Structure 1
Amino acid sequence: MNDDVAAKAATARERLAERDGALVAFSGGVDSSVVAALARDALGDDAVACTAKSETLPAEELADARRIADDIGIEHAIVEFSELDDPDFVANGDDRCYHCRTMRLSRMYDAARERGIGTVCDGTNASDPGEGHRPGLQAVEELDVVSPLLQAGITKEEVRQIADHYGLDVADKPSMACLSSRIPTGLEVTEERLTRIERAERLLRTWGFSQFRVRDHDGLARIEVGADELETALNPDFVAAARNHMLDLGFDHVTLDLQGYETGSVSPAGEADAGDETTVNRDGEPVVEDVFARDYPTS
């Protein structure tokens, strides 16, 4: 971390120290993890990391959030709610992220008030406002959420440097948006779709892919993987395994996008996945017997 980045981090930490306490909207991604680490340094036990648990959060991400909060040494709280209770969210219009973020942050304020804390922070950084269609940022502004990274002018690359300085293993973690970002705008967000997307992506994670999405086009699964993993995805064994498993999970058709992973590829105006700010575990789902189980096991 160079002197300029260190100075920005110090500024963010000093501003946090001026507050009586802070509750950090915490996904376990690199942005919110850095805010949590800065808040812990600045406020000690008066800092709390809070994760929102709902149908749109992959179970693995919740487990990661718990682990990372423990590594930071900050209290970790969980609030539960369902975005599916909001018809505007379910409709999946251009402003889906606005409705989601409004509900999520409102629950964060409830949790903060229960602890006598008046400040809620998030992980918005200085690179976010210019990255595509980001209606979720409107909710941040309307609810008066504090964004320490943005206020200190800390960019995404600088966030990763600070995370590395703190020894956080999320420094190079790929962005992971909520599961609803895999459903094309205008197609309703349902529990059925979220369930099969989570299960499909769990398979890709188990099979060793690191940057991926499974987009749900009303029953057609469109698999996206990073450019450096595309050759692996073209392997006939993977193709057969992916087809068999994903058909069994409820998809009608399975395709591989040869363009590879692209942030926000089913959202309006190239909407950036709400990457840092990412259901309960659904174990026991039926998965077909796989003739390629040695290379692509399901567990």
Structure 2
Amino acid sequence: MQDELHNKLAHLKEYIKELDSVAIAFSSGVDSTFLLKVAHEILGDNVMAITVQSGSFPKRELNEAIAFCKKEDIRHKVCQVDEMKIEGFSQNPPNRCYLCKHALFEKIGAIAEKNEIAYVAEGSNMDDLGDYRPGLQAVAELGVKSPLREAGLTKAEIRELSKEMGLSTWEKPSFACLASRFVYGETISKEKLIMVENAEQLLLEHGFRQFRVRMHGRMARIEVLPEEFLKLLQEEVREDIVKQFKQFGFTYVTMDLTGYRMGSMNETLDKKN
């Protein structure tokens, strides 16, 4: 098992080496941090991290991205994008992720070209092929490289290798952009994105590990791991969450009894088919 894992790592390193120079879309998450670390070890200054700052990207993640690149002495460019100006984004259609990713990777590609970097890469892994991910269509259309998928690495394997490399992100909870918190067809606005960001930051401060706050109108649907249900229902915790969520702008605060799972908004697509 370990031999297979390290064969995949060797394949990844060889693939990256052949790229010669690469700009990596860096979110500070588990996958992109691992990819950036490996790429920098292989290509050194021929690697650039590019982080997109937008309303869909929490400030804490941006700060972590900046801190990591500074610590590792990696070239880092932060570019600002107003996703509300992307045609169709705010209407939140089922292909919203495609529209957004296409615009973002076009911007990242332009920065890479300006810096004479040959390729753009992103951090999707093999597990991402098992869910509805229209953003991967944009990745394919624009010729963006996906080294982790090329090497056949799963999320669990990336966490294991990250731990071996001493990366603190090996146990970091999975994250997705804040726009994924809205039911398809519901209008996304800067105000709503701030509400969700504040709500999830509060859950983080209460010590919850893996969670989402899904938004339905002015109702918040909280997803936490089933083993953390009782913690959420502790009187002091529950009352503080309700109080502060209402201050953030929510009218109703609910708990999803199914618990946290990736892509729960995609369940509505299944019902339409």
What TM-score bracket applies, with the shorter chain setting the length?
Answer: over 0.9
1:108 to partner: Cα distance: 0.9
Alpha-carbon separation, structure 2, partners of 1:164 and 1:270:
36
Structure 1 pair 269–22 and aligned structure 2 pair: CA distance change class (3 A): farther
Supply the AA of the counterpart residue of 2:91: A
Alpha-carbon separation, structure 2, partners of 1:255 and 1:206:
19
% identity of equivalent residues? 38
Alpha-carbon separation, structure 1, partners of 2:112 and 2:18:
17
Q: Is residue 245 from structure 1 mapped to residue 247 from structure 2 by the alignment?
A: no
Measured against aligned partners, the alpha-carbon deviations of 1:10-48 in whole angstroms (never above 9, x if no partner) come to: 121122112331101111111111111121111111111
Supply the AA of the counterpart residue of 2:211: F
Alpha-carbon separation, structure 2, partners of 1:85 and 1:211:
31
1:158 to partner: Cα distance: 1.4
State the partner residue of 1:149.
148
Alpha-carbon separation, structure 2, partners of 1:24 and 1:174:
21
Supply the AA of the counterpart residue of 2:242: R
Supply the AA of the counterpart residue of 2:79: V
Given that 1:209 and 1:229 are in contact with CA atoms closer than 8 Å, whether structure 2 keeps it comes out as: yes
Q: Is residue 208 from structure 1 mapped to residue 207 from structure 2 by the alignment?
A: yes
After alignment, is 23-32 or 2-11 more displaced? 2-11
Alpha-carbon separation, structure 1, partners of 2:105 and 2:239:
42
Q: Secondary structure at the match of 2:124?
A: coil
Supply the AA of the counterpart residue of 1:84: M
Supply the AA of the counterpart residue of 1:167: G
Measured against aligned partners, the alpha-carbon deviations of 1:231-257 in whole angstroms (never above 9, x if no partner) come to: 100112222111111111111111122
State the partner residue of 1:173.
172
Structure 1 pair 231–268 and aligned structure 2 pair: CA distance change class (3 A): closer
Under a length normalisation based on structure 2, what TM-score does the superposition of the two structures give? 0.94
After superposition, the CA RMSD in angstroms is 1.6
1:144 to partner: Cα distance: 0.4
Alpha-carbon separation, structure 2, partners of 1:163 and 1:226:
23
State the partner residue of 1:127.
127
Alignment of 1:32-51 (within 5 A): 32-51=32-51
State the partner residue of 2:159.
160
Structure 1 pair 267–127 and aligned structure 2 pair: CA distance change class (3 A): closer
Measured against aligned partners, the alpha-carbon deviations of 1:173-199 in whole angstroms (never above 9, x if no partner) come to: 111111111111110111111011111
Measured against aligned partners, the alpha-carbon deviations of 1:82-134 in whole angstroms (never above 9, x if no partner) come to: 111023111111101101111111111011012110200111212221x2211
Q: Is residue 59 from structure 1 mapped to residue 73 from structure 2 by the alignment?
A: no
Under a length normalisation based on structure 1, what TM-score does the superposition of the two structures give? 0.86
State the partner residue of 2:113.
113
1:73 to partner: Cα distance: 3.6
Instruction: Identify unmatched segments of 5+ residues in structure 2.
Output: none
Q: Secondary structure at the match of 2:168?
A: coil
Structure 1 pair 9–71 and aligned structure 2 pair: CA distance change class (3 A): farther
Alpha-carbon separation, structure 2, partners of 1:241 and 1:127:
35
State the partner residue of 1:225.
224
Q: Secondary structure at the match of 1:89?
A: coil
Instruction: Identify unmatched segments of 5+ residues in structure 1.
Output: 272-299
Given that 1:88 and 1:99 are in contact with CA atoms closer than 8 Å, whether structure 2 keeps it comes out as: yes
Measured against aligned partners, the alpha-carbon deviations of 1:256-297 in whole angstroms (never above 9, x if no partner) come to: 2222212222235679xxxxxxxxxxxxxxxxxxxxxxxxxx
Given that 1:5 and 1:158 are in contact with CA atoms closer than 8 Å, whether structure 2 keeps it comes out as: yes
Alpha-carbon separation, structure 1, partners of 2:126 and 2:261:
21
Given that 2:206 and 2:237 are in contact with CA atoms closer than 8 Å, whether structure 1 keeps it comes out as: no
Alpha-carbon separation, structure 1, partners of 2:87 and 2:119:
29
1:68 to partner: Cα distance: 2.6
Higher relative contact order (CA 8 A, sep 6+): 1
Given that 1:181 and 1:267 are in contact with CA atoms closer than 8 Å, whether structure 2 keeps it comes out as: no
How many residue pairs align between the two structures? 270
Q: Secondary structure at the match of 1:49?
A: strand
Alpha-carbon separation, structure 2, partners of 1:187 and 1:98:
17
Q: Is residue 15 from structure 1 mapped to residue 8 from structure 2 by the alignment?
A: no
Q: Which has the higher helix share?
A: 2
State the partner residue of 1:281.
none
Given that 2:27 and 2:61 are in contact with CA atoms closer than 8 Å, whether structure 1 keeps it comes out as: yes
State the partner residue of 1:85.
85
Given that 2:97 and 2:134 are in contact with CA atoms closer than 8 Å, whether structure 1 keeps it comes out as: yes
Given that 1:133 and 1:268 are in contact with CA atoms closer than 8 Å, whether structure 2 keeps it comes out as: no
